Structure 1
């Protein structure tokens, strides 16, 4: 679930083949405590370096061209508090312990569905 974001695109076959409205079902999973929407800071992995540099540049941070990914993340933590959320909208989804347990409890259902070789 950590790969899904509030801006993820989902194939139409979920809806047409399985009758699953993914955005609606994700909202339900969050409402019922199986997943949560991550904070802006927890969602930084979904931004590329250019996006992070742009946010920092607006804040007046210099020396961005020399910064590596970890440096950019640290700078975002150093220069921003909760207002970071105002600078980008993408958020990741994460399973809660309740969601992880539900997957374990229903592994046989998951095993019946085709898997992608990654």
Structure 2
């Protein structure tokens, strides 16, 4: 049985130790490492930029900037295995530091389908929306239902970058290009 200290020793020459999930299957990780060294987090991914962030933080901001990262999104394992960060904890930190925020329910209406929008309107006792298209439904919901009444009915909310976070995504585009952004 291998412990986490064994993995930490592998990273002793790094500027900082990558995040290692305490629930990681360390034995399987070590077995793969015996076959190929590329299972280690690359050293360059543990070097902070001039803004004090790691490449994994920039990739997380980029994902938020795309507008598709929600409260329901699974966090990809590459944040831990390639970038050495705890994306869940670091997301909270990026929000605290003003790089990102969780959208309001009204801002996130684009995420839900027309059927859900109609259900929200029905729950509010409203009528006159049956023939509306999704864009019209979004505007109707936003104008007729308060944020307080809408929030509990939203199945998911998106995260996004602030202007400060977006500026970092632009500034560190080279990190994103190395990751291999999807078009």
Matches of 2:156 and 2:142, distance apart in 1:
17
Q: Which of 124, 131, 139 is the aligned partner of 1:59?
A: 124
Scaled by the length of structure 2, what TM-score is found? 0.58
Which segment is superposed worse, 30-39 or 84-93?
A: 84-93
User: Corresponding residue for 2:44?
Assistant: none
Figure out how many residues of one structure are paired with residues of the other and give that number: 117
User: Corresponding residue for 1:106?
Assistant: 172
Matches of 2:124 and 2:170, distance apart in 1:
44
Query: 1:12-46 deviations in whole A, cap 9, x for unaligned?
Result: 23223332322222111111101111111000011
Scaled by the length of structure 1, what TM-score is found? 0.85
Matches of 2:181 and 2:125, distance apart in 1:
46
User: Corresponding residue for 2:152?
Assistant: 86
Q: Secondary structure at the match of 2:108?
A: helix
1:89 CA displacement: 4.4
Query: 1:52-96 deviations in whole A, cap 9, x for unaligned?
Result: 111111111223321111221122123211221121141111211
1:4 CA displacement: 0.9
Which segment is superposed worse, 12-21 or 89-98?
A: 12-21
User: More relative contact order in 1 or in 2 (CA 8 Å, sep 6+)?
Assistant: 1
Give unpaired runs (5+ residues) of structure 1.
none
Matches of 1:81 and 1:60, distance apart in 2:
13
Structure 1 residues 51 and 106, CA, compared in 2 at 3 Å: closer, same or farther?
Answer: same
